Amino acid sequence: MLTLYHAPTSVCSQKVRIGFALMDLSYESRMLNLQAGDQFDPDYLKLNPDAVVPTLVDDGLVVVESSLILAYLDRQHFGGRLMPSEAGARVRAEHWLLRCLPIHAAINTLSFSTAMRGKILAEKTSAEIDALAARFPDPMMGKKRKDLILNGLASPYVAQALIYLRRLFTDLQNELEEGPFLNGASPDISDVALSAYVDRLDRLGFSGLWEDTFPRVGAWLEAWKAVPAYAQGITDHLPPGSAEAMKAGGSAHWPELALRWRELADGTH
């Protein structure tokens, strides 16, 4: 029995759900409310001491980290069909899986310094924000979250995020020369691992990050939207009204973010 602990709008949960759908695997769903703090429940912390989602449990075996979950599911339950068999392509795919850690950190940064920041500031007192930061098992992650909430796009974490994202789009642009997906005509494990991260930026209203300079990224995302697993992993789980709220909350910050992005491209940051 596969059991998945996940959250509706968590990008890492979304990419694992896309993988489940693409592999046509069923699972028992355990949905967590991250805003209510379900990830800090003592029973959940026994499964995932980092207090993040998703977490997979397969007949008692606990697997954490979304890219590792994808690789595990592919290897153990899908015959390794999502992982390229050719040596060079396999190395590139495994490298993309490793790179998901800083890419996720960048997406987290832009999410909480823009759309999510406004909601938190409107709903929480200064003391409550301090308490939220203090709950993170990793104190540096708590410090980062607090800094993003208080300083928004002025946070130093934003500059780091934009550097990671520019490299991401540069490499995607170069590697998407041969087809709509990274390894050809159909998505492989690399595409699955990256899909929700680029989707989040699009949902924040930040597609201008790639539209002019990295057009293949936009075409790749559009190709994904035609794959049923995309909706099954992302769209079908979005709470009513959340997509509109995210787009409005993010788009309000786009002019400032676009300026930062141009400065990075020009080498003036």
Strands (E), the chain: 2-6, 28-31, 55-58, 61-64
**pTM for this one?**
0.96
**% of the chain at pLDDT higher than 90:** 95
Q: Which residues of 16-52 are buried (b: 16+ CB within 10 A; e: fewer)?
A: bbbbbbbbeeebeebebebeeebbeeeebeebbeebb
List pLDDT tens digits, range 28-65: 999 999 999 999 999 999 999 999 999 999 999 999 99
3-state secondary structure of 179: coil
| φ, ψ of residue 181 in degrees (nearest 5) | -120, 170
CA 234 – CA 155 distance, rounded (Å): 29
Q: Are 73 and 192 in contact (CB under 8 A)?
A: no
Q: Are 68 and 173 in contact (CB under 8 A)?
A: no
Q: Are 96 and 193 in contact (CB under 8 A)?
A: yes
Using DSSP bridges, classify how beta strands 61-64 and 28-31 pair: parallel, antiparallel or unpaired.
unpaired
The pLDDT of residue 265 = 86
179 has a pLDDT exceeding 70 = yes
List pLDDT tens digits, range 15-34: 999 999 999 999 999 999 99
List pLDDT tens digits, range 72-103: 999 999 999 999 999 999 999 999 999 999 99
Domains of the chain, with CATH numbers?
2-77 (3.40.30.10), 87-266 (1.20.1050)
268 has a pLDDT exceeding 90 = no
269 has a pLDDT exceeding 60 = no
